[in-house]
Chain A
Amino acid sequence: QKEVEQDPGPLSVPEGAIVSLNCTYSNSAFQYFMWYRQYSRKGPELLMYTYSSGNKEDGRFTAQVDKSSKYISLFIRDSQPSDSATYLCAMSGDYKLSFGAGTTVTVRA
């Protein structure tokens, strides 16, 4: 079993829809949770960073962490074609980051 599980999709939604992405993990030592966005095999860029359980909002993006269920989510509201990318969850204990496989999202105009 992988440390971090993420459905690779692909996920296709119409413009303006809410995109819902999630990851599950097995390592209880994970404390830091991140979401990265990657366009066309370019370098991943950090979208959201959370440390504890709960919600964190940044513009159209909301990250949720539920440590008791070992489950994290990313929601994108009012999705735009420019949000079409691969989204990777990442998490860490005290040293290395472990990444999910990434979910490919396409937002149709």
Chain B
Amino acid sequence: DSGVTQTPKHLITATGQRVTLRCSPRSGDLSVYWYQQSLDQGLQFLIQYYNGEERAKGNILERFSAQQFPDLHSELNLSSLELGDSALYFCASSPGAQGGETQYFGPGTRLLVL
């Protein structure tokens, strides 16, 4: 158990809908990272928040947004969902702001868009 929690574990929704994924980092970690893992694309970095502020951005679509709250939990919002958004979404956390730190991954949210 990494100490990172994610909810929900599974999510099934329809195209065009909007969903919110939630992540709670390990105790004491200030950075939260979001990743998307699909069968054909591997693990893709989406975005990093550090202590409430956006720190780094990767291959995140404009239909996706994220935020980190004062209690350090984070939410990833996915809107206007398409079939291709079906994937595993992982959250990771680390103590500081540097991406070179060890990142601890949560169990993931499996999203299926029908």
Give the segment of B13-21, B63-71, B75-83, B102-110 that binds chain A: B102-110
Q: Is the CB of A93 within 8 A of B99?
A: yes
Chain B 22-54 per-residue mask, 1 if CB under 8 angstroms from chain A, else 0? 000000000001000100001111001000000
Q: Is the CB of A102 within 8 A of B43?
A: yes
Point out the residues of chain A lying under 8 angstroms from B44, CB to CB. Answer: 99
Q: Is the CB of A31 within 8 A of B108?
A: no
Point out the residues of chain A lying under 8 angstroms from B11, CB to CB. Answer: none
For the side of the interface on B, what is the size category?
Answer: 20 to 34
Q: Is the CB of B90 within 8 A of A31?
A: no
Q: Is the CB of A97 within 8 A of B45?
A: yes
Closest to A41 in B: B88
Point out the residues of chain A lying under 8 angstroms from B88, CB to CB. Answer: 41
Q: Is the CB of A46 within 8 A of B102?
A: yes
Whether, in the assembled complex, B58 has its beta carbon less than 8 Å from a beta carbon of chain A, the answer is yes
Q: Is the CB of A42 within 8 A of B108?
A: yes
Point out the residues of chain B lying under 8 angstroms from A34, CB to CB. Answer: 102
Whether, in the assembled complex, A7 has its beta carbon less than 8 Å from a beta carbon of chain B, the answer is no
CA distance A39 to B87 in the complex (A): 16
Whether, in the assembled complex, B84 has its beta carbon less than 8 Å from a beta carbon of chain A, the answer is no
Point out the residues of chain A lying under 8 angstroms from B2, CB to CB. Answer: 43, 45
Whether, in the assembled complex, B56 has its beta carbon less than 8 Å from a beta carbon of chain A, the answer is yes
Known: A43-B2, A96-B56, A97-B99. 19 other contacts (CB 8 A): A36-B105, A41-B110, A42-B107, A43-B106, A43-B107, A43-B108, A44-B90, A44-B105, A46-B102, A46-B103, A92-B99, A93-B99, A96-B33, A96-B45, A97-B100, A99-B42, A99-B43, A101-B42, A102-B42
Contact residues of B with A, CB < 8 Å?
A: 2, 4, 33, 37, 42-45, 48, 55-56, 58, 88, 90, 98-108, 110
